[in-house]
Amino acid sequence: MNTIKLAPLLLIFAEVARKKSFTGAAKKLASSKSAVSQQIKRLEDALDMQLLARNTRGVVLTAQGETLFSRSELLAEQLANAVSDIKQVKSQPSGKFKVSVPPFFERNIIVPALQQLCLEFPLIEPELVVTGRWQDLIENELDAAIFGGHLKDSNYKAQLVGKVKDVFCASANYIQRHGQPESLDDLLQHKYIGSTWQRGVLNLVNTDNNSEVELLLPHSALTNNLPTLTEMAVADMGIVLLPEFVAKGEIRRGNLVPLLPSYHGRPWRFQFIHRYQSTKPVYVDRFYQLVKHYFSIEIT
């Protein structure tokens, strides 16, 4: 007996048995009453048993028909569930999701955002590239990137994550040894650790009167890497200007102390870069929302 050929007949039989009507089953199956009746006859011939009996009220199941119906109904439900699961998988985004982010973003912003994203889209496979350098999306096969500072001209789309200001800080040991600066002029007597983005003439904002100030501050050490800049400050090497969300974390951990609270660097932007010209995939848009959410928590 070819059970594969019987499968569609069993599904038709289950519908007739469920409706207790050839007419009702035919309507549900978008078929004719005679076609449904012929399929039931084929099934009964193949099994060599009567499954249905007609009376004045419609269709009645025989004892064999009752037994087969309980099994056939389960088959129909399993098939419906399989189709539903396939449709759900098809509609669920899947595959690699590659993102470039700057250092220090991953700890309290990107990782929590990715964790939530994977809960909502479990078939997504995140790949995280941590770098302070600009990464071309197409060249590096990136779906998106978080980038701080001035964005180069490109055809990519940019959405604002938030603005960041740099603040002065140093280790408690450094301050104990060299004294605490009380004014911008006092900084000239201290060791200043410069970065490639904050050296030479510093553009500062005076929060007391909301004015802008320029300060030429020579550096005693220099780095092009934000984690290294932070470690140098923690190692008592001098005063630094750190992005506020980085400084706050180190201050909470007792590694650094804030200095000159009336002054901070001119705010600069972190942007979410993607290459989708029209509507973004839903998981990309959701990731942007999550990054923006955790960023706002971190800087407040």
Q: What are the per-10-residue average pLDDT scores of the chain (300 residues)?
A: 76 85 87 89 87 79 84 73 61 87 85 93 92 86 87 79 93 96 94 89 92 93 92 97 91 95 91 84 91 86
pLDDT of 67 reads: 83
Residue-by-residue DSSP string for 112-180: HHHHHHHHHSTTEEEEEEE-SS---TTTTT-SEEEEESPPPS-SSEEEEEEEE-EEEEE-HHHHHHH--
pLDDT of 2 reads: 64
Tell the burial category of 196 from Cβ atoms under 10 Å away from its Cβ (0-12, 13-18, 19+).
Answer: exposed
Q: Which residues contact 20 (CB under 8 A, 6 or more apart)?
A: 58, 59, 60
pLDDT of 229 reads: 94
Q: Which residues contact 230 (CB under 8 A, 6 or more apart)?
A: 104, 240, 242, 246, 250
pTM over 0.75: no
pLDDT of 83 reads: 66
pLDDT of 206 reads: 94
pLDDT of 296 reads: 87
pLDDT of 297 reads: 83
pLDDT of 165 reads: 92
pLDDT of 225 reads: 87
Domains (ranges, CATH) in the chain? 3-91 (1.10.10.10), 95-160+272-299 (3.40.190.10), 166-266 (3.40.190.290)
